[in-house]
Amino acid sequence: MDKINAVITGVGGYVPEDVLTNEDISKLVDTTDEWIMTRVGIKERRILKGEGMGTSY
């Protein structure tokens, strides 16, 4: 059986600028920052705006 050789030639990352905080969410639904933090452990989310912006070719 022949070996298939593969190598990872690079990695990348991107963090969108737009932030959605727990305070923002608490304005939309009946919850609080503290409730979300104690149950989920998330303080903020990064939101990508614009279609196709999260991919590169």
pLDDT in tens, 19-51: 999 999 999 999 999 999 999 999 999 988 877
CB atoms near residue 4 (< 10 Å): 5
Q: How far is CA 43 from CA 6, 12, 17, 37, in A?
A: 38, 24, 15, 6
pLDDT at 37: 96
